Amino acid sequence: MDVGETSDGELVALCRAGDERAWAMLVERYSRYVYAIAVQGFRLPEPDAEDIFQDAFARAFERLDALRDDDAFRPWLAQMTRRLCIDSCRRRRDEGEEPEVEVEDPSGELERLDEALAVREGLARLSGDCREILDRFFAQDESYRTIGEALQLPAGTIASRISRCLGHLRAELEGRKAVVLES
Amino acid sequence: MPITEYTEERVAELLRALPPAPAGWVAAAAELPRARAELDRIVELATADADFRLALIEDLEAALRSAGFAADRRRVVELQRRLAL
């Protein structure tokens, strides 16, 4: 099963049928997203973020049967995560850990994370070579030289590969956006 | 819906916006189906075996370990809830 090609709906259906691998794929697909909602969106400290992370996935797993539209797994998981984060912020405030902090849903930041997830999903649909080179260069900030050494490529060819792969990624993202706008 | 232009800078910013979650967290969440099944088995055992239930009431973590189960914090909390300990 290819993680990049299998839809959320297909994975959810497989999970309901008891496929543990499908569940692991859903966790893998959304682990960065759930983590970022807690740590970046709500700026929770790591121990609280860990509880949110585990609770969000545990609730999703337990309540899969209640999900009406299998393809709506992502917004459903995001909503559960947000609720858990808000509860955690309120608890911290009420227990006096951060009494000055207003508990707000940081919707602007969450929109940015949604867009970041779309880019990650676009990246997942590219070839393995493109995935690796773009992730190393843009996300891990590695130099041409480091990338060249790791991938056993001449450093002089890295720039052109990045440019080509970026083109593929843009095409993926713009293609998806066109579908969304048309529908 | 605003149209985003995916410049190099924008792609870099968005790729950096989602750093990986700690590997241990991801592994624990991925193991949920197995962990839940084991939890169900422990609850079944506790229901069927009065001695085991008593041992759980006396010292939950020690009883789990001596029965060959892991006794991590999440499992202990969940068992306390399910067994009303």
Q: Tally the domains of chain A.
A: 2
Range of the domain at A158: 126-183
The number of folded domains in chain B is 1
Same domain, A67 and A35: yes
* pLDDT over threshold 90, residue B43: yes
Q: Which of A53, A72, A104 is the last residue of a domain?
A: A104
Across the interface, do B25 and A50 touch by the CB < 8 Å criterion?
Answer: yes
As separate numbers, helices (DSSP H) first and strands (DSSP E) second, chain A gives 8, 0
Which domain covers residue B71, as residue numbers? 21-82
Domain for residue B70, yes or no? yes
**Could you read off the pLDDT of A109-142 as tens digits, one per residue?**
889 999 999 999 999 989 999 999 999 999 889 9
Domain boundary among A55, A71, A104: A104
Whether B83 and B43 have beta carbons less than 8 Å apart is answered as yes
Which of B11, B17, B30 shows the shortest C-beta gap to A169?
A: B11
User: Cβ–Cβ of B30/A116 closer than 8 Å?
Assistant: no
Residue A13 belongs to a domain:
yes
Could you tell me if A73 and A140 lie in one domain?
no
A117 Cβ under 8 Å from any chain B Cβ: yes
User: In this structure, is residue A117 part of a structural domain?
Assistant: no
How remote is the C-alpha of B42 from its chain's centroid?
15
Q: Is residue A132 part of a domain?
A: yes
What's this model's pTM, rounded to 2 decimal places? 0.82
> Is the domain of A14 the same as that of A85?
yes
| A115 occurs within a structural domain | no
Statement to judge: residues A93 and A178 lie in one domain: no
Residue at a domain's end among A39, A71, A104: A104
Residues of A in contact with B1 (CB under 8 A): 180-181
| A121/A29 Cα distance (integer angstroms) | 8
Q: Is A161 helix (H, G, I), strand (E, B) or coil?
A: helix
Interface of B with A (CB under 8 A): 1, 3-4, 6, 8, 11-12, 14-22, 25-26, 28-30, 32-34, 36, 74
Burial A82-98 (b: 16+ CB within 10 A, else e): bebbeebbeebeeeeee
Per-residue pLDDT of chain A (183 residues; tens, 9 = 90+): 655 578 999 999 999 999 999 999 999 999 999 999 999 999 999 999 999 999 999 999 999 999 999 999 999 999 999 999 999 988 888 887 665 555 566 778 889 999 999 999 999 989 999 999 999 999 889 999 999 999 998 888 999 999 999 999 999 888 766 555 555
If asked whether residues A15 and A55 sit together in one domain, one would say: yes
Contact A108, A37 (CB under 8 A): no
How far out from the chain centre does Cα B39 lie?
10
Query: Which letter, b or e, does each residue of A156-167 get, where b requires 16 or more Cβ atoms within 10 Å of its Cβ?
Result: eebeebbeebbe
Per the domain annotation, does A3 fall within a domain? yes
Scanning every residue of chain B, which has its alpha carbon at the shortest distance from the alpha carbon of A117?
A: B18
Which residues from A are below 8 Å from B15, CB to CB?
116, 119-120, 123, 134-135, 138-139
